[in-house]
């Protein structure tokens, strides 16, 4: 399926030519019929000589309706540039051609209309003028046909040339992600909301759940039509009318985008390669405000030039467009910028999720150049590096490749050592680092752990949560990072703590003496050890980890040799007497209730005993 768009100056016969080709009057508004002037987009379908059907988008030619024209030509496969024989090249002829070039429409033909109004000599001069006009443009190889829609002379030749041109056209790719920029919204009694547009990518199915962006409204496809034919499924490049349920027409407007749920998101900034047209009335300046047209959408944006302070007519520059409102854009989309009702330039989107950049940086320009002209592997590497850790799904959206192609490339890049994939059986998503990014992460972890061990030599390791906060990673990603670091023997996982393999806790001579004296003091009264002794918390933690003492609570610490005897006597008593009370523990060891209660609560917590009324039994 292909879509044709008209272009040309007002009153040069675009709509009349379309009607001659199709039999359809594309002027549907009363005001258009009364004034004989196209105001908004018109639509028709044409069955070609080879039996194929194409859609035609007829655009208004008046300069006041350029925004409507732009909403219709954003996704066309072939352009019919219309020039009236009695007037020749006019201002909107030039502006429309500039727009077609900026949108990279490089297939088309020029129809010189109204040939019945001029003599052959004049017609020949107009043909020469048109040849010169398109000589250095994307339409330079296009046929120039003369036609009269009134007499029918040349109409069939136009139709035949459309068929031959489209026969050699490249079929629109299918990335499996349907996207329909909406150029018309209306309601039909008994059916509800209907939207129309050109399906850029993927398929739409009757009954499918869809999402309307940027608002995020969910709806369901109630019906599909192409060329007034009801279908259960439509594919890429189709002009399609979609009847929606679950949403009203007043919740939708031109410029919204219909897509399958989940893959597309909005953006407030895009990085672009900008061309300022030679006919621009002025240079573009850093931080100027412009009107931006992308797809069927029109919005205001601030233009941030990333290399220079201005771009003169006829030149290119790297830039960022910062929108006033969230927009739906993907890499590779074409755009137009205008100011004061004049077209200034346009170009291609190279990154649909523009970040805040420091201007005039070589590394930034290098990244943008890769995003526009790099190999698939270079583009994917650059995208991962910019947002690592990231997912394969996010990469697919950012580069605008088919997800299957992205997964295949990432698999090969992993095998060749360019990409590190983090995965785990308990985590569904896989996360990606470039090999360089992973090496940098390892360096950060080792340096941070080394500094922590130097400052806390007696601690078992660094608390995991502290490392996660330092790395600023989500819990799920951090879990996979720790797992991978452990497998690579970069770290030792100690449960709640992490350490480097070479870290060993040891006491110096002064600390060893303090520890020995502390244990000796505990053993002086082993069943009622003093609670007013002080020992450095790190030393005490080491003694507890080594099993030389047992902390039953924050206040009471038992020497481990006596603790073992205590537990053995308590458990033996429970087996013989079918239970023990806190009072019996107190009397058994000649201690106070404070110690006896702390012991039993500690054994409850450890799972040795459990409380039944006033007694404890073995758990």
Residue 411 has pLDDT above 80, yes or no: yes
Q: Note the pLDDT of residue 458.
A: 81
Q: Which residues contact 261 (CB under 8 A, 6 or more apart)?
A: 209, 210, 211, 218
Architecture of domain 267-364: Beta Barrel (2.40)
Higher pLDDT, 185 or 62: 185
The CATH 3.40.50.300 domain(s) of the chain lie at 2-167
- For 509-618, the fitting CATH number among 3.40.50.80, 1.10.10.10, 1.10.3720.10, 3.40.50.720 is 1.10.10.10
pLDDT, residue 500, reads 92
Q: How much is the pLDDT for 439?
A: 96
Q: Which residues touch 60 (CB under 8 Å, ≥6 apart)?
A: 10, 37, 38, 39, 40, 41, 68, 69
Whether pLDDT at 604 is above 80: yes
Give residue 32's pLDDT: 57
Residue 170: which pLDDT band, with cuts at 50, 70 and 90?
Answer: low
Annotation: CATH topology of 2-167: Rossmann fold (3.40.50)
Q: How far apart are CA 561 and CA 523, in angstroms?
A: 9
Q: How far apart are CA 336 and CA 348, in angstroms?
A: 9
CA distance 250 to 442: 53
What is the pLDDT averaged over residues 47-59? 82
Please tell me which of 31-35, 167-171, 413-417, 423-427 the model is most confident about, judged by mean pLDDT.
413-417
What DSSP line would sit under 499-532, residue for residue? E-TT------HHHHHHHHHHHHHHHHSTTS--S-
514-571 confidence digits (pLDDT tens): 888 888 888 888 888 888 888 888 888 888 888 888 898 988 989 988 889 999 999 9
Question: Helix, strand or coil for residue 134?
Answer: helix
Place of tokens 């690579």: 488
**388 pLDDT higher than 60:** yes
| pLDDT at residue 34, as a whole number | 57
Fold (topology level) of 179-260? Elongation Factor Tu (Ef-tu); domain 3 (2.40.30)
Q: Is 607 helix (H, G, I), strand (E, B) or coil?
A: coil
Of 19-33, 43-57, 177-191, 552-566, which range is least confident? 19-33
Q: Which of 115-119, 150-154, 231-235, 454-458 has the lowest mean pLDDT?
A: 454-458
- The predicted pLDDT at position 283 comes to 94
Q: Which of 213, 216, 214, 207 is nearest to 244 (CA)?
A: 207
Cα separation, 112 vs 88, whole angstroms: 8
- pLDDT value at position 339? 92
- Cβ-based burial of 456 (10 A; exposed 0-12, middle 13-18, buried ≥19): middle
pLDDT of residue 37 exceeding 80, the answer is: no
Segments of the chain assigned to CATH 2.40.30.10: 179-260, 267-364
What the block records as the tokens of 600 is 């039993």
Whether residue 127 is predicted with pLDDT greater than 80 in this model: the reply is yes
213's CB contacts (< 8 A; 6+ apart) are: 256, 257, 259, 264, 265, 266, 328
**pLDDT surpassing 70 at residue 106:** yes
> Residue 137 carries which DSSP code?
S
Instruction: Say what the pLDDT of residue 163 is.
Output: 87
Is the full-model pTM beyond 0.85? no
Mean per-residue pLDDT of the chain = 89
Q: Are 591 and 563 in contact (CB under 8 A)?
A: no
More confident residue, 134 or 51: 134
Q: Cα(24)–Cα(44) distance, rounded to whole angstroms?
A: 6
Q: What is the pLDDT of residue 30?
A: 65
Classify domain 374-505 by CATH number. Answer: 1.10.10.10
The pLDDT tens digits for 490-511 are 999 988 999 999 888 778 788 8
User: Nearest to residue 379, comparing CAs of 392, 366, 370?
Assistant: 370
């Amino acid at each position: 399926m292909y879509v044709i768009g008209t272009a040309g100056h007002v009153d040069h016969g675009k709509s009349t030519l379309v009607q001659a080709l199709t039999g359809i009057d594309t002027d549907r508004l009363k005001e258009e019929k009364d004034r004989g002037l196209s105001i908004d987009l018109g639509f028709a379908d044409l069955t070609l000589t080879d039996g194929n059907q194409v859609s035609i988008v007829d655009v208004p030619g008046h300069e006041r309706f350029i925004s409507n024209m732009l909403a219709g030509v954003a996704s066309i496969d072939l352009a019919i540039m219309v020039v009236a024989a009695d007037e020749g090249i006019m201002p909107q002829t030039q502006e429309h051609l500039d727009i077609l070039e900026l949108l990279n429409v490089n297939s088309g033909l020029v129809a010189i209309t109204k040939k019945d109004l001029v003599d052959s000599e004049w017609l020949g001069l107009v043909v020469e003028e048109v040849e010169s006009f398109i000589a250095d443009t994307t339409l330079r190889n296009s046929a120039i046909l003369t036609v009269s829609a009134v007499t029918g002379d040349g109409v069939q030749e136009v139709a035949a040339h459309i068929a031959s041109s489209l026969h050699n056209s490249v079929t629109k790719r299918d990335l499996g992600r349907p996207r329909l920029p909406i150029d018309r919204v209306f309601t039909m009694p008994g059916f509800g909301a209907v939207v129309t547009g050109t399906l850029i990518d993927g398929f739409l199915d009757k009954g499918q759940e869809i999402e309307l962006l940027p608002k995020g409204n969910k709806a369901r496809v109630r019906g599909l039509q192409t060329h007034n034919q009801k279908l259960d499924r439509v594919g890429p490049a189709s002009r399609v009318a979609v009847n929606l349920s679950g949403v009203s027409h007043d919740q939708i407007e031109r410029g919204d985008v219909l897509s399958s749920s989940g893959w597309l998101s909005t953006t407030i900034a895009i990085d672009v390669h900008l061309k300022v047209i030679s006919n621009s009335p002025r240079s573009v300046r850093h931080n100027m405000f412009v009107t931006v047209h992308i797809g069927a959408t029109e919005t205001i944006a601030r233009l941030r030039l990333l290399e220079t302070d201005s771009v003169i007519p006829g030149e290119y520059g790297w830039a960022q467009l910062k929108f006033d409102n969230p927009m739906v854009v993907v890499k590779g989309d074409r755009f137009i910028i205008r100011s004061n009702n004049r077209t200034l330039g346009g170009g291609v989107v190279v990154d649909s999720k523009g970040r805040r950049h420091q201007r005039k940086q070589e590394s930034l320009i290098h990244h943008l150049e890769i995003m526009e002209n790099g190999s698939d592997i270079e583009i994917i590497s650059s995208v991962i590096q910019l947002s690592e850790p990231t997912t394969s799904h996010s990469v697919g959206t950012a580069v605008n490749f088919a997800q299957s192609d992205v997964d295949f490339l990432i698999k090969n890049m992993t095998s060749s050592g360019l990409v590190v994939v983090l995965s785990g059986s308990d985590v569904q998503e896989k996360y990606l680092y470039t090999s360089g990014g992973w090496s940098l992460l390892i360096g950060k972890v080792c340096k941070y752990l080394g500094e922590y061990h130097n400052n806390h030599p007696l601690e078992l390791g660094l608390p995991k949560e502290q490392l996660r906060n330092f790395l600023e990673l989500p819990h799920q990603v951090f879990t996979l990072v720790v797992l991978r670091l452990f497998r690579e023997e970069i770290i030792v996982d100690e449960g709640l703590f992490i350490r480097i393999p070479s870290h060993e806790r040891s006491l110096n001579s002064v600390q060893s003496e303090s520890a020995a004296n502390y244990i000796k003091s505990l053993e002086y009264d082993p069943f009622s050890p003093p609670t007013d002794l002080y020992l450095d918390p790190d030393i005490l933690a080491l003694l507890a980890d080594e099993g030389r003492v047992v902390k039953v609570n924050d206040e009471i610490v038992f020497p481990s040799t006596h603790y073992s005897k205590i537990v053995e006597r308590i458990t033996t008593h429970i087996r013989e007497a079918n239970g023990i009370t806190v009072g019996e523990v107190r009397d058994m060891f000649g201690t106070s209730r404070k110690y006896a209660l702390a012991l039993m609560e500690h054994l409850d917590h450890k799972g040795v005993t459990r409380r039944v009324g006033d007694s404890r039994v073995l758990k």
